[in-house]
Amino acid sequence: MGSLVTKAKRPRTVLLLALPGAALAALVVLSMLFGALTVAPDQVWDTLRGHAPSNQIRNAIWSVRVPRTALGIAAGAALGLSGALMQALTRNPLADPGVLGVSAGAAFAIVLAVGVLGLNSVYGYIWFAFAGALGASVLVYVMGGLGRSGSTPVKLALAGVAITSLLFSLTSAIALTNPDALNRYRFWSAGSLAHQNGEVLLRILPFILAGAVIAFALAPSLNSLALGDDVATSLGQRLGLIRVLGVTAVTLLTGAAVAVIGPVVFIGLVVPHVARSLTQSMGVGPDYRWLLPLSAVLAPCLLLAADIVGRLLARPVEIQAGVLVAFIGGPFFIAMVRRRRLAEL
């Protein structure tokens, strides 16, 4: 009987990744077509095959859009995975690298490295991004656990907002007193996929892959953790090891993404909820063996869609992808907080 149920659900579960995968493929195509220079589909295809109609089109595709699109996929997947991991580890539906200050910690550490230590290469200051992300996440978790009631989703969110505001002020103070840090900070502050090349992506890709491998390996343990600490322990799970590995994965994923595209917020908040809705609609349930891959596919869809719309809204000027993501995520976050507060009354 169990095998029959599994076979019946298999077409549905295949659709879980097939449809978002098709959406991501479509967005990759659109990312190649549109920008300050609109390129016809046949010209894109010829350019990718090495037969570019002109040097302008060749440079637009290979030097700008291919690295930009690949970076959007990698950074988006990193932020989506880190958000899903944070929500699982804290059992907090409001958890997100941007909301809980992890992105702000990484950005502050990078500006500190650039402004004070004079580091200018991604491979040089990415280590500071990891340290800043880890430090901010620990600080928020400690602050959110103060008081008699201990850690609650709303308290963690409020602690994250407070730490993010503090780090934002310190980051601005350093940036405004140092021209190099200011130039770097102007790029990060809104979050953008522009002005990067393939070499930068290759430098951060090992960290993202390492974080993703840890995240996917933790999926069965996260299912047990969702049932509560006591149940997870009775099932033989080592809670301390799970949380250490989870925090390591979040640090690697968030630090690498922020080091390149800046502190883009709300992707890690919105995407896991969308993934959870899809798994429930397909009858799979909140299984992290599906939620994590879905988040890794849906998050690049959101980031690339925001990037493409940002290129088209005010051509030839671009609106940073982070601005449009925040425009979507802000109301979503407010709605989630209101729902949690009503549930606690």
Domains along the chain with CATH numbers: 68-344 (1.10.3470.10)
Q: For residue 8, what pLDDT band results from cuts at 50, 70 and 90?
A: very low
Report the C-alpha gap between 24 and 9 in whole angstroms: 23
CB 131 within 8 A of CB 139: no
Neighbours of 338 (CB within 10 A): 10
Report the C-alpha gap between 184 and 115 in whole angstroms: 9
Instruction: For CA atoms 311, 314, 316, 322, give the dihedral sign.
Output: negative
281-300 average pLDDT score? 88
pLDDT of residue 22: 94
134 or 335: which carries more pLDDT confidence? 134
Report the C-alpha gap between 98 and 268 in whole angstroms: 8
> Whose structure tokens read 């343990």?
221
pLDDT of residue 153: 64
Lowest mean pLDDT: which of 20-34, 40-54, 169-183, 252-266?
169-183
| Residue 6 pLDDT exceeds 50 | no
Q: What are phi and psi of 329, to 5 degrees?
A: -75, -30
Locate 226 and state its tokens: 């969702």
Lowest mean pLDDT: which of 1-15, 45-59, 142-156, 173-187?
1-15
Q: For residue 253, what pLDDT band results from cuts at 50, 70 and 90?
A: very high
Percent of the chain with pLDDT over 70: 88
pLDDT of residue 4: 36
pLDDT of residue 187: 62
What are all long-range contacts of 71-74, with beta carbons under 8 Å and residues at least 24 apart?
A: 71/193, 71/196, 71/200, 71/201, 71/260, 71/261, 72/31, 72/193, 72/300, 72/303, 72/304, 72/307, 72/321, 73/24, 73/28, 73/300, 73/304, 74/201, 74/204, 74/205, 74/208, 74/257, 74/300
Reduce the DSSP state of residue 193 to 3 states and report it.
coil
Locate 221 and state its tokens: 């343990």
Lowest mean pLDDT: which of 91-100, 181-190, 236-245, 313-322?
181-190
Residues 53-102 pLDDT 10s: 888 999 989 988 999 999 999 999 999 999 999 889 888 787 788 777 88
279-283 average pLDDT score? 80
Report the C-alpha gap between 68 and 275 in whole angstroms: 25
Average model confidence (pLDDT) across the chain: 83
Report the C-alpha gap between 270 and 87 in whole angstroms: 11
pLDDT of residue 207: 93
181-189 average pLDDT score? 68
Lowest mean pLDDT: which of 106-120, 123-137, 147-161?
147-161
302 or 4: which carries more pLDDT confidence? 302
CB 302 within 8 A of CB 83: no
Which element (helix H / strand E) includes 182?
A: helix 179-190
234-244 average pLDDT score? 84
To the nearest 10°, the Cα dihedral for 119, 125, 127, 130?
140
Q: What are phi and psi of 50, to 5 degrees?
A: 95, 15
Q: Measured in whole angstroms, how far is the alpha carbon of residue 111 from the centre of its chain?
A: 20
| Residue 188 pLDDT exceeds 70 | no
Lowest mean pLDDT: which of 30-44, 182-196, 242-256, 289-303?
182-196
pLDDT of residue 338: 67
Number of H helices, E strands in the chain: 15, 0
Q: What angle do CA 108, 109, 114 make, to 5 degrees?
A: 100
Percent of the chain with pLDDT over 90: 25
| Residue 226 pLDDT exceeds 60 | yes
pLDDT of residue 206: 93
Residue 199 to residues 91, 194, 196, 205, 225, Cα–Cα distance (Å): 37, 14, 8, 10, 38
Residues 12-46 pLDDT 10s: 667 777 889 999 999 999 999 998 888 899 999 99
